[in-house]
Amino acid sequence: MSEIGALLQKFSDAHGVSGFEDSVAELVRKEMEPLVDEVRTDKMGNVIGIRKGDGPKVMVAAHMDEIGFAVSHIDDEGFLRVISVGGFFDQIVLGQRVIVHGQGGRQLTGVIGARPIHLMDPEERKKMIKVKDMFIDVGANNAADAAEMGVEIGSPITMDRQFARLGNDFVTGKALDNRAGVAMLISALQQLKGRPVKATIMAVATVQEEVGLKGARTSAFGLEPDVAIATDVTIPGDHPGVGKNECHVCTGQGPSITIMDAGGRGIIAPRPVVKWLRESADMDSIPYQLMVGDGGNTDATVISITRAGIPCSVISCPTRYIHSPVEVLSLRDLENGAALIASAIIKAHEYF
């Protein structure tokens, strides 16, 4: 597997639901430290790496949290009720195996269950089971037993899935949204190591993106960069159930550069930023796609409106089945995304 593939596997297999990103943050720190002049963690938990230069301040943000659940109730029989932390589609959740992250670093395997289909009447079977009607079974005999295992109200829960290779250059895993962005960020820093760069690089692994873009807002406010790139994943239109008129971006054809997302309710990338990214790609023969979407937001949304405004766009890796435990992407797209970030940073002083 390629170097960036191994990096992605390390981050995908790590666990860090929004607000509980500590173990992922530690991995990020270890990868960043040899590549920048200083690394720090701010009050929100964002990991910030600074490589000093005498040119423009360029922020590159990649959120490191993943969607999951949190324990909201433990019933008398020891079964756990949960709330969603982020946006899993309910019908994906039932029957999954999960990890409950308990006190003292304990990790418990659990399974998500619900009322047996054999006991449902015909009308019940037609309805989608909601997360609020599911429960997690960790093998506890009762509530006290669950507590002895380390489970408490608020314990975070992540999917129990491992990274794997598919055919060609495709891979699958959990939390590729947005450990793919983290891998692109680290890989770009690796490519820039030892090379002359005029810009000051502000590499930020942000927290709590999936629950309100929170870490990007506070880190951008504190850093006040001259320009920024958010790196994330985006929905491709190259598999059944998605029309090209809904999304024309495809896997294997390069990272995407965002012109507009969420129908303009998110980022509307300033033309000088788009020009910078496109010309950087063209000069280094890096394939890319342009993206206009009507779906969700990224960290770029809040970065762009922080302080007096920070010019910003998004470099994304097309990823199938986003917000599921089996997300799929092309390592070639990931490599080209990292190369585009590095190329843009090298050329930033010519544009800003």
Catalytic residues: 209
Please report the beta strands in the chain, taking only residues with DSSP state E, as ranges in sequence order: 38-41, 47-51, 57-63, 68-74, 80-85, 97-101, 107-113, 135-137, 156-159, 164-165, 170-173, 200-206, 227-234, 256-260, 289-292, 312-320, 327-330
Tell the residue number behind the tokens 């890796």, with chain if given: 317
d(CA 145, CA 319): 40
Phi-psi sector, 335: left (phi>0), alpha (psi -120 to 50), beta: alpha
**Direct distance between the N- and C-terminal alpha carbons of the chain, in angstroms, rounded to an integer:** 37
Tell the residue number behind the tokens 């009720």, with chain if given: 81
Which tokens in the block code for residue 352?
């800003």
238, 93 contact by CB (below 8 A): no
d(CA 129, CA 14): 28
d(CA 231, CA 187): 12
d(CA 19, CA 120): 37
Tell the residue number behind the tokens 């790609």, with chain if given: 281
Start-end of H helices in the chain: 3-13, 22-32, 90-93, 122-125, 143-148, 176-192, 214-223, 271-283, 299-304, 331-347
